[in-house]
Chain A
């Protein structure tokens, strides 16, 4: 059962495992992920691409195609409801109404043959008993809220008539349609250029304040994390390797992977220097190394890392990291 039924805990994912069974070995794309999102909180899930962020998000909304995906274990609680036990019809009522999602690719995420007014209005109409006219007015208001200029006129535009940034605004308007408790934003700005990215981030921050929503923000960019996060989960190869408040992650990172991500972040101090990049790449989920999945790329790697992957070490105030080497040696504390 949900351990904190009446608290401000909104979403809790426990030991989630999602595997892909194709030809060849099983790909353990998500391999035991735990995280929590509280009401009105912005939680960032950060990690390189391929580490299982999108699959985790789709699992929450029940949008994974099964097969090939298999939920191999774990539980997800949303506001006291166990999502994996929910009948399909109730899960559908939850989608869009209480949990909404903004996808990574604004160019392909809108249906090319319907107007944006139709598509946003549909999100209202599916969950609420309103007349077409009321839905229309809501749609105009929503488009206005996300910063679309002259929304009455844009209502009849088709997605191809909009820029990438505008399309992402429309996607956000669609997500906001029923004022959900949680918005899952999966790299909403990755496909956009930097200035538009900043605008969208500001928009999300403002909307979160106005509508009192929680946001689960997925990104591979720590720069974005710094701009919006309350709490951060660092994911690597299907597992969470470190979590903590945004402050803790940026000032006292305790996992070599987090530290490496921070080192590869461009900052003012590092201006003119060659940027650090982590050697190697995320291993394919079907061919992960034994022990700590990060050890082949880790500069602190010890022989024991190749054999076992220990649990989290607690650094207080909800800050935890899964690296025994740094825990024992205290490296990192003097570095930062």
Chain B
């Protein structure tokens, strides 16, 4: 067990190294450079471009640049090329903004998908199953942004729920209670929208998994014992059907940092996703690479968590 853990961590560190190299190369292979972002701007003289390249170490060979970059990252001294602010501080601030969206969205997704998927599977081909199937495919096929705008129009005109940003402009002056309420209201629509796509996909997956397990011989054995259908479904079948989702549970970790570009852009939510998107447009290499690196760390940590969880829940897997 401890040996497995050690081996696994070493493997993941090696993987992380390759990820860092590859992402670094890809960024530098991609056309465009921060110094050329605005070459037609008459204020940008060739001398300035040259100075900028020097400043950002862009004139050095790639491997030196790589070493310099990751040294700065580990020292925590890395700064954004756009505003010279420490990248880690920027990310932390955005991360805290994205966190509520992520938590509420994930909670909604998981708590809705499971009951819906399980019930559809148990009542296969019934009215409930058919309507949830229809709804899921509808939600999967409608583009998220389109659905978002329809909802926004409806919610703003009919319910007067605020939808843009994290809080109403100028609300900072109000009492804490008002501010909390205001923030909660702002969370509603983006989290629901963030969850709909997830619910549509995950509930299908839960249904499929549950259906497969219901057809297994041991479920028939459980019935043959004279157990009630509740025990058969919720004890014998569900316990097995849940196993693959334990793996998925570890893999939602990276979602912590990815955020959702589309949702955050639509709602002008100052979160991680939007920061990453803007950094890519602005060729802000330090920000892009740091986010990339942190995401890789979380993915690898997630797989480790999945493996460990799997060992806990599936008696067949022992190391």
Contacts and interface: CB of A to CB of B under 8 A. Distances in A.
Given A112-B316, A158-B316, A63 B220 contact: yes
A93 interface: yes
Interface in B204-236: 216-218, 220-228, 231, 236
Contacts of B278: none
A87 to B, nearest CB: 13
Nearest to B214: A65
B218 A111 contact: yes
B292 to A, nearest CB: 38
24 contacts: A63-B223, A92-B227, A94-B226, A96-B225, A96-B226, A103-B220, A105-B217, A108-B217, A109-B217, A111-B218, A111-B221, A111-B222, A112-B314, A113-B239, A113-B240, A114-B236, A126-B226, A126-B231, A127-B226, A158-B315, A158-B316, A160-B316, A174-B221, A177-B225
Given A110-B218, A112-B240, A158-B316, A61 B224 contact: yes
A96 B315 contact: no
Contacts of B218: 108-112
Contacts, number: 72
Nearest to A127: B226
Interface in A85-116: 92-97, 100-101, 103, 105, 108-115
Interface in A50-91: 61, 63
Given A95-B226, A113-B239, A122-B227, A103 B315 contact: no
Contacts of A29: none
Size category, B interface: 20 to 34
A126 B225 contact: yes
Interface of A: 61, 63, 92-97, 100-101, 103, 105, 108-115, 122-123, 126-127, 158, 160, 171, 174, 177
A124 to B, nearest CB: 10
Given A61-B224, A174-B221, 16 more contacts: A95-B225, A95-B226, A97-B226, A101-B224, A103-B217, A103-B224, A109-B217, A109-B221, A111-B236, A111-B240, A112-B240, A113-B315, A126-B226, A158-B316, A171-B221, A174-B225
B196 to A, nearest CB: 32
Contacts of A94: 226
B264 to A, nearest CB: 40
A177 B217 CA distance: 19
Highest count of chain A CB atoms <10 Å: which of B227, B231, B313: B227
A106 to B, nearest CB: 9
A105 B134 CA distance: 37
B228 A112 contact: no
Nearest to B219: A111
Given A92-B228, A126-B226, A103 B221 contact: yes
Contacts of A160: 315-316
Contacts of A108: 216-218
Nearest to B213: A111
